[in-house]
Amino acid sequence: MTNFEKYKDDLMKIEGIFAFDKNTRKVAECDTTDGIACEDCLFNSMDCYEGNKIRWLCEEYKEPILSDDELEFIKVLSKISEKKIKYIHKTSHRVFLFSDKPPIDKYGILLDKSNYYDLSGYGYIDLFPNIKFTDGLYDIENKCFIEV
């Protein structure tokens, strides 16, 4: 299924220029009162060209890495700890959340020099099933993996 097929019904309701909110993953009018502001749009002002939008519409739709529930969990944990959680890393038996990018060397992430939360002891090993050890470090804000 392409992005066009996924969002076709919403796209057909838009009379002007469309935008895609990278945070809510919704299609809406571009920069109107009820629309999507440039800073929240996947096609921010630098990439806001019809060609880029057509290419995106033709791309294969990808499910988000983190579910809404997982994002809410991270938001609550960030509020409780008073440090915004920005990165996730999993091993076969542990889940680590980081507020700052951990140091990485040729052997991987240096946990002893990082400020992190280890969720494994709390029974949260099954959280974030779309993140695998082989994926590396997941950057929540930029929605991408950083190779470890």
pLDDT reading at 145 higher than 70 = yes
Q: At 5, which amino acid appears?
A: E
Q: Between vectors from CA 62 to CA 24 and to CA 98, what angle results, nearest 5°?
A: 65
For 119-137, how does the pLDDT look when each residue is reduced to its tens digit (9 = 90+)?
Answer: 887 777 788 999 988 888 9
Q: Which two tokens stand for residue 27?
A: 């299609």
Residue 34 in this model has a pLDDT that exceeds 80: no
**Residue 2 pLDDT more than 90?**
yes
User: What are the DSSP E strand ranges found in 22-134?
Assistant: 26-29, 87-90, 95-98, 104-105, 108-109, 116-118
pLDDT confidence of residue 123: 75
- Mean pLDDT for 137-145 is 89
Distance of CA 127 to the CA centre of its chain: 15
For residue range 37-67, list pLDDT tens digits in order. 888 888 886 678 888 899 999 999 988 899 8
Return the beta strands (E) in the chain as ranges: 18-21, 26-29, 87-90, 95-98, 104-105, 108-109, 116-118, 137-139, 144-146
Sign of the alpha-carbon dihedral angle for 102, 105, 108, 111: negative
Residue 32, pLDDT score: 62
What pLDDT score does 28 carry?
87
pLDDT averaged over every residue in the chain: 87
Question: To 5 degrees, how large is the angle CA 143–CA 21–CA 135?
Answer: 15
Q: How far apart are CA 19 and CA 32, in angstroms?
A: 10
The Cα 54–Cα 31 span in angstroms is 19
